[in-house]
Amino acid sequence: MALTLLALFLATHFFLEKYYLNNKEKTLFSVYDLIKFSSAGGTMSTDEFDVMLQKNSGTHSVSIVIISSGFEPVKIYAMEPQDQLLRELANNLRGTVYVKRVIKETDDYVLVLKNDNRTKTDFLEMWGSLPDGSFFMLRSAMESIKNSAEIAARFLLIIGVCVMTVSAVIIFLFTRKISKPILELADISEKMSNMDFDARYKGKEKTEIAILGNSINKMSENLESTIAELKEANIELKKDNDLKTEIDNMRTEFIANVSHELKTPIALIQGYAEGLKEGVNEAEERDYYCDVISDEAGKMNNMVKQLLLLNQLESGFDTLNIDRFDIVALINNYVQSAEILTRSSDIKVTAPDCGPVYVWADEFKVEEIIMNFFSNAVHYCKSDSEKRIDVSVEKGENKVKITVFNTGDHIPEESIAHLWDKFYKVDKARSREYGGSGVGLSIVKAITDSLGETCGVSNVTDGVAFWFTLDCTDR
């Protein structure tokens, strides 16, 4: 709007005066044609002609002077003093005037633009002869044209500013009404691009924008539903992929660990078998070779059984048989069965002597935990004064904590976090000495995890304590 107004103002300023001048020229020509027609028809003396001249003179601000061939005034309708006009016409006919520009010249008339020395204003003048021998002059001041152009330009500027101000307010209100729902839709689209599908278009009007808003609402609902389904599918797919990866890793790890752990006993069996094949003569040596082969085969068999059990526990394919039983009785029975082993190692064992403590768990697997803890305690138990293993049961409000303590060296702090890893051995040489496979504590961790319980180890005064928890019941 501002540019349009500026263009109109510049056009008025630069071209309106020329447009007025062109129209004024046409006016002078029309008055000339009227005078020429009347002169040729001999009607210049009629009242009708006088009225027409007077009307043209007043309407178009044109001074009209007609004189006879003897320079006597015939008709004068002037905006200026008659004497001055008669002198001006005489000077024009004599050719003693200065003109700024000749616009058009013929045998009958001359149209020029000239400046009046007395008033310092420009005039558009036309003079010449008529068919009856008389002379004429038509004169119109250019100052009125300039004033009219300036007035028109100012008026256009004032009206334009007012119209632009009012129109700007109307346009602002109207476009705001249109743009508000569009901006609302843009905001909803932005939120949708950021995965926020809570925003909804709430317009109720029956317009194309409202139709678009309702379509966006439906699209948002469908996208939200579809993305939710995709997320669920992705979660399930991720679980399946994780399970597949875990199973593949377990299979690879199982094969690698079994291969590693079986390598030594197989090598021993092979070596001693070759010794027997080569013919060991001494009966005592043959018996020793056979004992080594039998012992290594037993270790291999035990390790394979433990690995299969651990694999079942970690894969979740093992079945739990939850029963209510007395954990104190279970511990005492196991300690009694292991008495020969502890007596041969000169270890003093302290078992819990409290009343029955009932727990809910898988009795066979709990016995497996106690067996692993107790066998580790026997093999690692040592002391300068008295070797001792203490098995305690500490009952809480809903849990029972079973602890197996043995005197001996502390476990290095950097090894504690890895004790539950398969085939991890703090002292590999000694583990080999008593036949440890390195999976016993991994089985303990897998069993406690399957039962939803916890286990742990800590260095205490004079030794090491392994513990685990179980759910207890008073009934």
CATH of the domain at 61: 3.30.450
Domain boundary among 98, 121, 143: 143
Domain boundary among 93, 121, 143: 143
193-200: average pLDDT: 72
Q: Show the tokens assigned to 149.
A: 């152009």
Residues 6+ apart with CB under 8 A from 309: 318, 368, 443
The DSSP result for 288-319, as a single string, is: HHHHHHHHHHHHHHHHHHHHHHHHHHHHT-PP
* Domain membership of residue 403 as a residue range: 319-473
Q: Higher model confidence: residue 379 or residue 315?
A: 379
Query: 3-state DSSP: the chain helix, strand, coil percent, rounded to 5?
Result: 60, 20, 25
Residues 6+ apart with CB under 8 A from 354: 328, 393
Give the pLDDT band (50/70/90) at residue 432.
very low
pLDDT at 464: 94
Give the pLDDT band (50/70/90) at residue 317.
low
Total of domains in the chain: 2
49-54: average pLDDT: 87
222 found inside a domain: no
As a dihedral over the C-alpha atoms of residue 387, residue 391, residue 392, residue 398, rounded to 10 degrees, the angle is 150
57 found inside a domain: yes
How far is 180 from 332, CA to CA, in rounded Å?
A: 82
Q: Higher model confidence: residue 50 or residue 194?
A: 50
Of the listed ranges 1-5, 68-72, 264-268, 430-434, the one predicted with least confidence: 430-434
The DSSP result for 374-442, as a single string, is: HHHHHHH---SS--EEEEEEEE-SSEEEEEEEEESPPPPHHHHTTTTSTT--SSHHHHHHHT--S-HHH
HEC assignment per residue over 60-75: HCCEEEEECCCCCEEE
386 found inside a domain: yes
> For position 378, which CATH number holds?
3.30.565.10
Residue with tokens 């409290």: 354
Of the listed ranges 309-323, 364-378, 445-459, the one predicted with least confidence: 309-323
SS3 assignment, position 56: helix
pLDDT at 390: 94
How far is 125 from 260, CA to CA, in rounded Å?
A: 125
- β-pair type (348-350, 358-362): unpaired
SS3 assignment, position 105: strand
389 found inside a domain: yes
The DSSP result for 157-219, as a single string, is: HHHHHHHHHHHHHHHHHHHHHHHHHHHHHHHHHHHHHTT---------S-SHHHHHHHHHHHH
Give the pLDDT band (50/70/90) at residue 429.
very low
Q: What mean pLDDT is reported for the chain?
A: 82
How far is 97 from 117, CA to CA, in rounded Å?
A: 10
- β-pair type (322-326, 135-141): unpaired
Give the pLDDT band (50/70/90) at residue 406.
very high
58 found inside a domain: yes
Residue with tokens 């020969």: 340
CA angle 13, 18, 23 (to 5 degrees): 130
Q: Which residues of 221-234 are buried (b: 16+ CB within 10 A; e: fewer)?
A: eeeeeeeeeeeeee
SS3 assignment, position 196: coil
Of the listed ranges 196-210, 361-375, 380-394, the one predicted with least confidence: 196-210
Give long-range contacts, CB 8 A cutoff, 24+ apart: 294-297.
296/265, 296/268, 296/269, 297/265, 297/269
Phi–psi pair at 97, nearest 5 degrees: -120, 155
85 found inside a domain: yes
* Highest mean pLDDT (candidates 190-199, 207-216, 344-353): 344-353
pLDDT at 227: 81
Q: Higher model confidence: residue 338 or residue 145?
A: 338
Phi–psi pair at 361, nearest 5 degrees: -170, 180
How far is 105 from 151, CA to CA, in rounded Å?
A: 32
Residues 6+ apart with CB under 8 A from 277: none
Contact 137, 88 (CB under 8 A): yes
SS3 assignment, position 463: strand
Where are any strands of DSSP class E within 18-72? 63-67
How far is 2 from 381, CA to CA, in rounded Å?
A: 99
SS3 assignment, position 240: helix
Domain boundary among 119, 143, 167: 143
Share of the chain above pLDDT 70, in %: 89
Contact 168, 199 (CB under 8 A): no
- Sign of the Cα torsion 371, 348, 470, 414 reads negative
Does the pLDDT at position 10 exceed 90? Answer: no
pLDDT at 124: 86
What does pTM read for this prediction?
Answer: 0.44
182 found inside a domain: no
- β-pair type (388-395, 348-350): parallel
